[in-house]
Amino acid sequence: MPNVKFFSGENIPLEMHKVRMVQRVYLNPIEERANSIKEAGYNTFLLRNRDIFLDMLTDSGVNAMSENQYASMLQADDSYAGSETYYRLESVLQDMFNMQYFLPAHQGRACEHIIAKLLVTPGSTAVMNYHFTTTKAHICMVGGEIEEIIIDEGLQISSELPFKGNLDIEKLKASIARLGKDKICFVRIEAGTNLVGGQPVSMDNMREVSKICRAEGLTLVYDASLLSDNLYFIKTRDPNFKDTDIREITREIGSMMDIIYFSARKLGAARGGGILTSNNEMFMKMREMIPLYEGFLTYGGMSVREMEAMAIGLQESMDMDIISQTPIFVEVLCKELLAKGVPVVTPPGGLGCHVDARQFCEHIPQEKYPAGALAAAFYLCSGVRGMERGTLSEQRNPDGSETLAHMELLRLAFPKRVFTLSQVKYVADRLTWLYENRKLIGGLTFEEEPRVLRFFFGRLKPLTNWPDELLKKFRADFGESL
């Protein structure tokens, strides 16, 4: 990222790319948006894309690919077995992480499925900085449990700590002493901890965790899906790595881990995923499962065109000008919202801007899903689709009670190279208006509640007629404006 200083003194993100292809978007009137969110059961996942202005639900699979990625797809070697495309991708990953074996899978949660099948036994515990929804689901479905040992600051909304995703070393030692290493199926580090605001993990923390795991004979698993953001923060927040090449940092991370897995829908701005290891025994056991659950060993459920694009995208993730784009846009939006009094997670992390729904909607109890209500309300007044990351994203306890999330967040994700600065300004404007009228937002309750991953396709309804009241207020303030 070039060091450019603007004469105005403003902090304006400088895109290191130009737009050469565009896709039209639509900003429907608020009355149409009101009908759309109602039909979607007040669940932004169930909105149709044609009804959305800006899609900030996720960055998974919706990043803008580069010209070189598109060009690479034309050289794909279309073969069920032994495709040269696979070997090109394998070579890129081996060079990137300095690990020996690569197993392809169609996306990150497919990797989690394979790893859980390999390592988790009934009654065992996976110890990690923080869970991700699909990770937890796969572990629990095969009889395991999770234990979160993120540092205390990681669960604080406001902080100046640069690496809030770190594992608490003393908690790790205590978990090993209490559970016994034979009952710990693996230790997991998630780069750019998703559910607590995209917060990164430091190199010093990874080194210490790896040292402990190797001394205790514990398997260390690394979720590298948000690696590019984490690399950016290591380079910009840790002075010890200011002048260290990104490839050197990535290879050191590979040297610390027993298993690395990733979703290329995030890392590499493509489609697909994969698992890496240098442990021959683990590789041989997982290799048996790839054809059973994914596809043959040289395509793993992906098309070879996706694999070619992935290979290029992974190489591009070693370029600071490319990986800086999401974090700097997130930072700009966070700072603008903070200046208006809107509560967000600080310091700004990767992946997206995370709004503190607990403070934003402090009048709504957690059992009434404040983050889900905020996501629905924000779509209503803006046409922007965000994602709930709170209690709605958890699943109920065996007795039917709610698992109250540590944080109630509205995530506004930034797919790479997709949005413009004017669109970011629009998001800040509409969210500021909503914050000033936040008392109009009410809670939600389930009409249709799936047992697992309910946030994906559950349907809800408002407890009062608050969506109508919000619509009336919007019209009073904006008139015929969309």
What stretch of H or E contains 146?
strand 145-148
First to last CA, the chain: 36
How far apart, in whole angstroms, are the C-alpha atoms of residue 99 and residue 325?
A: 28
> Catalytic: which of 33, 235, 265, 266?
266
> Catalytic: which of 132, 222, 360, 369?
132
Locate 200 and state its tokens.
């990164």
Task: Single out the residue of 429, 306, 304, 452 nearest to residue 378, CA to CA.
Answer: 429
> How big is the CA angle at 478 (ends 476 and 480), to the nearest 5 degrees?
95
Task: Single out the residue of 146, 127, 240, 241 nearest to residue 189, CA to CA.
Answer: 127
3-state secondary structure 288-330: HHHHHHCCCCCCCCCCHHHHHHHHHHHHHCCCHHHHCHHHHHH
What stretch of H or E contains 356?
strand 352-356
- Sign of the Cα torsion 296, 301, 303, 306 reads negative
> Catalytic: which of 136, 164, 389, 411?
389
Task: Single out the residue of 390, 372, 395, 369 nearest to residue 139, CA to CA.
Answer: 395
- Sign of the Cα torsion 112, 115, 117, 120 reads negative
Q: How far is CA 459 from CA 33, 40, 99, 222, in A?
A: 17, 7, 43, 33
DSSP, collapsed to helix, strand or coil, labels residue 150 as strand
- Sign of the Cα torsion 353, 356, 361, 366 reads positive
> Catalytic: which of 85, 133, 134, 326?
133
Residue 404's CB is within 10 A of a number of other CB atoms, namely: 12
Q: How far is CA 295 from CA 11, 252, 359, 471, 478, in A?
A: 47, 30, 46, 49, 53
Tell me the H-state helices in 120-168: 133-141
Task: Single out the residue of 398, 387, 391 nearest to residue 445, CA to CA.
Answer: 391
Catalytic residue at 223?
yes
Catalytic residue at 419?
no
Catalytic residue at 132?
yes
Catalytic residue at 420?
no
> Catalytic: which of 51, 59, 168, 223?
223
284 alpha carbon, distance to own chain's centre? 29
What stretch of H or E contains 85?
helix 84-97
Catalytic residue at 164?
no
Locate 214 and state its tokens.
């190797």
The alpha-carbon radius of gyration of the chain (Å, integer) is 22
List, by residue number, the catalytic residues.
80, 132-133, 223, 266, 389, 455
